[in-house]
Amino acid sequence: MTLKEAITLFGYHQRSNLKARTVRSYQPLLQRFETQHGERSFDAIGSEEVFQFLETVTGNQARSTRRLRYAQLKAFFNFLIDKCNLNMKNPCDVPLLSKAFKTPKPVSRRILDREIVEELIYNTETLRDRLILELQARCGLRIGETLKIKVSDVVDRRLVLNEPKSGKESEVAFMPEQIAKRLHDYIQ
């Protein structure tokens, strides 16, 4: 199988199983990979060629972007090796690549204490801002989900979240009684 055929097969799999945004993030990388190695046999591509390709593509980019491109190419090879039952090693599974494209150190995040969150909510001047903070703190909503709420999404103590981060079509979040009352008053 040529690399071009392998990329086409991987594309069919992605479009049927992954979010459109994920598929779009793979496209530029795979198109450039196909341009450079498209007519070659899939199993003839070695780790040195993968390394040179990734260095060319991600040369001046951030470490996190370099790591993402490496992970995408590794996932591409893993998928094809698994689905086509190929008896080959993933060319991305070599120390040279894993060290060159290692995971950046995680940024430590400070989680606010409950008392501080309570104080922030209590000291908020506008009802709108207070509701945004309470929906996040008490209902576990993300800021993007909170800002997308429409009047039609509020039913008693339930909030219907359209297009949540989980990828589902919709989800339901429940509000404590006091927040539900404040939200209904705000809507009126």
For residue range 13-58, list pLDDT tens digits in order. Answer: 888 888 888 889 999 999 999 998 888 888 888 888 999 999 998 8
- The helix or strand, by DSSP H or E, that contains position 159, with its residue range, turns out to be strand 158-162
10 residue type, one letter = F
Q: What's the pTM value of the predicted model, to 2 decimals?
A: 0.59
Pairing of strands 154-155, 170-174: unpaired
User: How far apart (Å, rounded) are the C-alpha atoms in residues 69 and 75?
Assistant: 10
Question: Which pLDDT belongs to residue 87?
Answer: 82
In which residue are the tokens 């196909």 written?
34
Question: Which pLDDT belongs to residue 108?
Answer: 86
Instruction: Please give the structure tokens belonging to residue 2.
Output: 């040529």
Name which of 98, 55, 88, 92 is nearest 73 in CA terms.
92
* Inter-CA distances, 100 with 44, 78, 183, Å: 22, 19, 51
Question: Which pLDDT belongs to residue 166?
Answer: 75
Question: Which pLDDT belongs to residue 126?
Answer: 92
Provide the CATH number for the domain formed by 3-100 in this structure: 1.10.150
Q: Average pLDDT of each block of 10 consecutive residues along the chain (188 residues)?
A: 87 87 90 88 86 89 88 91 84 86 81 91 93 92 90 91 80 92 91
Question: Which pLDDT belongs to residue 42?
Answer: 80
Q: Do domains 3-100 and 114-187 have the same CATH topology?
A: no
Question: Which pLDDT belongs to residue 125?
Answer: 92
Q: Please answer whether residues 59 and 14 qualify as being in contact, where contact means their C-beta atoms are separated by less than 8 angstroms.
A: no
Stated length of the chain: 188
Question: Which pLDDT belongs to residue 180?
Answer: 92
Pairing of strands 154-155, 158-162: antiparallel
Question: Which pLDDT belongs to residue 72?
Answer: 92
Domain definitions of the chain by residue range: 3-100, 114-187
CATH class as words, domain 114-187: mainly alpha
